[in-house]
Amino acid sequence: MSENTVPQKGAARSGPGRVLVAVYAVFALAATARAGVQIATRFEEAPLAYLLSLAAGIIYIVATVGIARSGRTSHRVAMVSCAIELCGVLAVGTLSLLDPAAFPDDTVWSGYGSGYLFIPLFLPVLGMLWLRHVEKGRTPERAQTS
């Protein structure tokens, strides 16, 4: 986009942004539902793992909504969510490999998301790159009104 081009309203939800929102929505639903069932049926078996899965699901929900919306505040919230998500994946991934006994059951982020084809490791990076791309497309006039 040129410097004078104003992105269309909802540009974050078009093309690659639409795919990103869809992937985030699937992970939000999957992680939250899985954690809900695990917490309700066998919480005592692996409370840390199940609570971390629930936290991941909530972060995915917030990121999904933030990426899907077009306002500056939504994008900031999504960017923070993606950053927290990346830190979580790296921390939980490392801890789950260093101390497997602390994670008797997998979380979405265990082994850097190995149970989910490592998508949890790359998803926040893609999210932040997409949000940066969309933000760069804003002109100063558009950025002030969003």
Print the SS3 string covering 84-106: HHHHHHHHHHHHHHHCHHHCCCC
Q: Determine, yes or no, domain membership for 30.
A: yes
Q: Determine, yes or no, domain membership for 67.
A: yes
* Domains contained in the chain, number: 1
Q: Determine, yes or no, domain membership for 146.
A: no
Q: Dmax over Cα atoms in the chain, in whole Å? A: 57
The whole-chain average pLDDT of the chain stands at 86
pLDDT 10s digits, 47-94? 999 999 999 999 999 999 999 998 889 999 999 999 999 999 999 999
Q: Please enumerate in sequence order all residues whose Cβ is within 8 A of that of 84, keeping only pairs 6 or more positions apart, or say none.
A: 59
Q: Determine, yes or no, domain membership for 4.
A: no
Which domain does 15 fall in, by range?
11-138
Q: Determine, yes or no, domain membership for 121.
A: yes
Q: How many residues in total does the chain contain? A: 146
Encode 19-48: b = buried (16+ Cβ within 10 Å), e = exposed. Answer: ebbebbbebbebbbebbeebeeeeeeebee
Q: Determine, yes or no, domain membership for 2.
A: no
The residue among 139, 112, 140, 134 whose CA lies nearest residue 20 is 134
pLDDT 10s digits, 82-126? 999 999 999 999 999 999 988 888 889 999 999 999 999 999 999
pLDDT for the residue 106 = 85
The share of the chain scoring above pLDDT 90, in percent, equals: 69
